[in-house]
Chain A
Amino acid sequence: MADPMRIRAQAQGSGAVVRVLMSHEMETGQRKDAAGKTIPAWHITDVTASHNGKQVLAAEWGPAVAKNPFLQFNVKGAKAGDKIAVTWKDNKGDTRTDEVTVS
């Protein structure tokens, strides 16, 4: 199973700033191994986020997103104590969801 994300969600102004680090290779499919064989692409394709169970964000990513991806976004109206969950899915079908409480 994939390693957990690190999510920080901080109330700021009228919403919350969410910063996410995901543990993922984000292999481009362009590189070759020592034997000259192409290393197949392996990357996150879809990212979603929810605020207290309601989806607030959907994104599509390609292999050009950097390894161990970073994502920052602002959720309107989120306040301390609210739940923010982030889910990613990759092109091999692996998926991971983690949740934090806004502080």
Chain B
Amino acid sequence: MMTRTLVALAVAGLAAGLASAQSPKSTTQSIEEYRAMLADGNPAELFEAKGEDLWKHKRGPKNASLEQCDLGKGPGVVKGAFVELPRYFADTGKVQDLESRLVTCMERLQGLNGAEIAKTPFGRGEMANVTALATWIAAESRGLAFNLPQSAPQERVAYEVGKRLFFMRGGTHDFSCASCHGEEGKRIRLQDLPNLTKNPGDGVGFAAWPAYRVSNGQMWSMQLRLNDCYRQQRFPYPEFGSDALTALSTYLGVNAKGAKSAAPAIKR
């Protein structure tokens, strides 16, 4: 809603103010400058701190911390886990991304209700906690290169299915993920669009989320990033932690192989 108001105001401003004045700097340079000014002092840090606390704090019906949660590299191993997710987990028999895996741990270790968490809107209650946890866990892998495992057959199927989702046009506007993210050097409005069919570079695309969104002052996890892409694509609603989102994340994550993680980033 913040976005709405500001967008409306911004439109008015553009109509009124922008007609004149050629800036000596290019628009791209000016936007780069703006982004650089924001990089120092990313409010994502506030969420990182909350996530670390949630990981170590005893909570839930079982009064347990998440310190024994297995994110794929063994119980309690946090560093490096982020850049290898989604991956296959034998104990659930599924490919899981970071957030759905966290929900599994919150259910199994802490006794919280996973289905309830999955239904909770982003930014509220336990869902806000999942986002904070994901933010901290991502931060613990900052600078590490993405290297998703593809040895389990389930992981390879997830990649192939994810590819099909990536290229799936639909909705009222015929948009697929590839409509915006299938080529290099394109923008939507002034925002650069990474080509996500390959490694788009360090700290770009899959390697940038979770990210703090300046436009609404919210911390956005990868699940929410994909959710809102689908909203803007005019698609129906993708369920939190659904197989479709996990498969799509697997496709993006495998393509990002070698890209160094910059998450949690700060975004427009």
Question: Which A residues fall within an 8 A CB radius of B?
Answer: 3-4, 6, 19, 21, 23, 25-26, 30-34, 66-68, 70, 72
Contact of A3 among B1, B5, B46 (CB under 8 A): B46
A16 to B238, CA, bound (A): 48
| Chain A: minimal CB distance from B256 (Å) | 28
Contact check, B50 vs A31: say whether CB atoms are below 8 A apart. Answer: no
> Which chain A residues lie closer than 8 Å to B5 at the CB level?
30-32
Contact of B1 among A19, A34, A70 (CB under 8 A): A34
Q: A25-B217, A31-B1 are in contact. List 16 more A-B contacts (CB 8 A).
A: A3-B50, A6-B45, A6-B49, A19-B40, A21-B41, A21-B43, A21-B46, A26-B217, A30-B5, A31-B2, A32-B1, A32-B5, A34-B1, A68-B46, A68-B217, A72-B41
| Chain B: minimal CB distance from A47 (Å) | 15
For A4, A6, A26, A66, the residue with the greatest tally of chain B CB atoms inside 10 Å of its CB is A6
**Interchain Cβ contacts under 8 Å between A and B, 5 examples:** A4-B49, A19-B41, A31-B1, A31-B2, A70-B43
Closest to A5 in B: B46
Interface size on B, residues (CB 8 A): 12
A3 to B41, CA, bound (A): 17
A67 to B2, CA, bound (A): 11
> Which chain B residues lie closer than 8 Å to A33 at the CB level?
1
> Which chain A residues lie closer than 8 Å to B49 at the CB level?
4, 6
Closest to A66 in B: B217
Question: Which B residues fall within an 8 A CB radius of A?
Answer: 1-2, 5, 40-41, 43, 45-46, 49-50, 212, 217
| Chain B: minimal CB distance from A20 (Å) | 8
Known A-B contacts A68-B217, A72-B41; the reply to A23 vs B1 at CB < 8 A is no
> Which chain A residues lie closer than 8 Å to B2 at the CB level?
31
Contact check, A70 vs B41: say whether CB atoms are below 8 A apart. Answer: yes
A4 to B46, CA, bound (A): 8
| Chain A: minimal CB distance from B80 (Å) | 24
A97 to B76, CA, bound (A): 32
> Which chain A residues lie closer than 8 Å to B212 at the CB level?
68
| Chain B: minimal CB distance from A55 (Å) | 23
A70 to B43, CA, bound (A): 8
Closest to B42 in A: A21
> Which chain B residues lie closer than 8 Å to A4 at the CB level?
49
| Chain A: minimal CB distance from B9 (Å) | 9
Contact of A68 among B1, B40, B43 (CB under 8 A): B43
A19 to B49, CA, bound (A): 16
> Which chain B residues lie closer than 8 Å to A34 at the CB level?
1
A33 to B43, CA, bound (A): 24
A21 to B41, CA, bound (A): 7
Closest to B53 in A: A4
Closest to B4 in A: A31
| Chain B: minimal CB distance from A81 (Å) | 23
Closest to A33 in B: B1
> Which chain A residues lie closer than 8 Å to B217 at the CB level?
25-26, 66-68
Closest to B40 in A: A19
Closest to A26 in B: B217
Contact of B46 among A23, A25, A72 (CB under 8 A): A23
| Chain A: minimal CB distance from B51 (Å) | 12
| Chain A: minimal CB distance from B214 (Å) | 8
